[in-house]
Amino acid sequence: MFNRRELALAVAREFDAPAVLDVGGGSGRIGEPILDAGASRYVDIDLSDTMLDLARERLDRFGDKVELIQGDFLTADLGASFDLALALGYFDYIEDAGAHIRRIGELCSGAAVASFPRWTWTKGPIRKLRYEVINNCPIYDYTGDGISALFKNAGFTRVELHPGKSGFLAVARK
C-alpha cells in the first residue's frame, strides 16, 4: 500500500527543483521532506493561522523558498504556476471538490498528488458520527471513477489511483 508522504516525494523527484503548491498544507509536514529533496519553492495555502505558525517553525531553515499564505484556496492570490500540487487530507472536508480540482488544474502545469476518503462499512459510520453528528463538520466520500472524472474535467490527462483501506491516493498528470 502506498504511503502518502512517500508517493508525494516520489512524484516530486520526477521534477528538477520543482515549485510545489501544498493545498491545505497545514503544518507543512510534507513540505519539509519535499524541500529537503530539492524543491525550489514551497507554498502552503491554509485557512488556519495556527497550522501555519507550526509550518513557520518547522520550515524556518529553508528561508525564502517557503511562502505561507493564510486564506481560502479558491480565492487566494497564488501567483505563478507550479510543477506539482499536493492536496493531502484535504478533500475529506471539501464540499465542491470539482471547483478545487479545477483551480489546481489552472495553477499546476505538471502533476497533482491528492488523497480522498472512500466509504467503508467498517470506518464509515463511526467517521460520520464523529465528524457530522458530534462536531457538526460535514465530510465527503469519493469513488475511483468520480476522482478520475474530477481530474479529467480539470485538464489532467492521466490519473493513477492507489486504493487503500480507507481511501484513494491519486496521482494526476497533465
Ligand X SMILES: C[S@@+](CC[C@H](N)C(=O)[O-])C[C@H]1O[C@@H](n2cnc3c(N)ncnc32)[C@H](O)[C@@H]1O
The residues binding ligand X (CB under 6 A) are: 24-26, 29-30, 45-48, 51, 72-73, 88-90, 93
Dihedral angle computed from the Cα positions of residues 157, 38, 54 and 103, in that order, rounded to the nearest 10 degrees: -20
For residue 158, give the amino acid letter: R
**CB-nearer residue toward ligand X: 8 or 19:** 8
Instruction: Give the CB-side neighbour count of residue 145, counting CA atoms within 13 A.
Output: 0
The nearest distance, CB 91 to ligand X, in angstroms, is: 9
- For residue 159, what are the β-bridge partners? 172
The nearest distance, CB 51 to ligand X, in angstroms, is: 4
The nearest distance, CB 157 to ligand X, in angstroms, is: 25
**CB-nearer residue toward ligand X: 114 or 147:** 114
**CB-nearer residue toward ligand X: 89 or 124:** 89
| Under 8 Å between Cβ of 92 and 136 | no
**CB-nearer residue toward ligand X: 52 or 145:** 52
The nearest distance, CB 34 to ligand X, in angstroms, is: 12
| Under 8 Å between Cβ of 28 and 55 | yes
Dihedral angle computed from the Cα positions of residues 113, 48, 37 and 105, in that order, rounded to the nearest 10 degrees: 30
